[in-house]
Amino acid sequence: MLKITIDGHSTEVEEGTTILQAARKIGGEIVPPAMCYYSKLKGSGGKCRTCLVKVSKGSEKDPRPMPKLVASCSTPVQDGMEVQNITSPEVLETRKAIVEFLLINHPLDCPVCDQAGECDLQDLSFEHGVDTSRFEEGKREFDQIDIGENIKLHMNRCILCYRCVYTVNQITDGRIHGVLYRGDASEISTFIQNAITNDFSGNVIDVCPVGALTDRSFRFKSRVWFTRPMDAHRDCPKCSGKVTLWMSANDIYRVTARKDEFNEVEEFICNECRFEKKNAEDWIIEGPRTITRTSIISVNHYQKLKQGSIINPVAKKIEKPSE
């Protein structure tokens, strides 16, 4: 077991673990944000640079600090390593610059985009970005493409994280989707506008950190925060059938996989669950999904607190009145 200290919090991890995974094990605000790394996809990470951290002590054997900031998603932990994330002003300054780079070609169409409200890039720029842009040149522009009858590709919004490419490579058979061209001209596409028809292709919508790949059956139907997430399951022969339904009254607007605290899906779901089962009778509804209070999705959704789950100090006082 290797000992690692991140922002003063120590933990022990197995050999081969990356700094980002160790930080996620500790949890809390010291976890570096990640736009391209996805723990469920092999080989992902190292592209977006938002998870850069400072290694102030390389290891017990060689305590020299690393000369540059390193990408925490692809740097393995060494014994005795000391890492600075939010305690290092250098890291925060760099992260601000990275966000600015990511936003250079990202259009400001959040009012139109279906991903708004659950977008990783929105969260990232809200937390680390600046509210003005210094970029005056034109942005890259592409036409919108329908990849099959269920998925819409807005290449304008893509940040080239490659997550969808890994998803298609690793959980579906037959690679038909990848990155064409190079550098500034590179774009996610299918070969000669082939439709993606594989049963699990809909998962590219969930792994996309921005609104580049969106659900055509949910296109402009509602805003994310006007629908209410409910955990539900069904007996599906192809996948686990465990999903989140986004409902308003008794109507199902959208079906997605369940996402964890790092916004990664817990289990990939099949296209039949995602696109075809839009009746409440198809599902066994377990109950409302817990969304963090700070998320816009929980605005105006009121929920009775469970016994023992009270986090609000005011609520505690109400429960136990002083005598």
Partner 1 sequence: MSLTNRTKVVSNKRMSFLERLYLPAIFKGMVITMKHVFMKKVTIKYPEKTREFSEIYRGRHVLKRDDEGRERCTACGLCALACPAEAITMVAAERQPGEENLYREEKYAKVYEINMLRCIYCGLCESACPKEAIFLTKNIVDSEYGRAQFIYGKDKLVEPVEKDKRIDVSKRQTPEVLAFKKLPNERHNI
Contact residues: partner 1, CB under 8 A: 108-112, 116, 133-136, 219-223, 225-226, 296, 299-300
Reference 114, options 72, 78, 144; nearest CA is 144
Measured CA to CA, the distance from residue 8 to residue 272 in angstroms comes to 46
DSSP string, 207-264: H-SSSSEEEGGGTTT--GGGSEEEEEE---SSS--EEEEEEETTEEEEEEE-B-TTS-
Sheet holding 81-84, edge to edge: 9-13, 2-6, 81-84, 52-57, 70-71
Name the residue nearer to partner 1 (CB basis): 166 or 218: 218
For 297, left (φ over 0), alpha (ψ -120 to 50), or beta?
Answer: alpha
C-beta atoms surrounding 103 within 10 Å = 19
Q: Which is nearer to partner 1, 26 or 110 (CB)?
A: 110
Q: Which is nearer to partner 1, 221 or 259 (CB)?
A: 221
* Cβ 233 to partner 1 shortest distance, Å: 29
Beta strands in the chain (DSSP E): 2-6, 9-13, 52-57, 70-71, 81-84, 145-147, 151-153, 177-180, 187-190, 213-215, 228-233, 242-248, 251-257, 284-288
The radius of gyration computed from the CA coordinates of the chain, to the nearest angstrom, equals 21
Q: How far is the CB of 294 from partner 1 (least distance, A)?
A: 15
Nearer to partner 1, 119 or 243 (CB): 119
Nearer Cβ to partner 1, position 8 or 138?
Answer: 138
Shorter beta-carbon distance to partner 1: residue 146 or 267 = 146
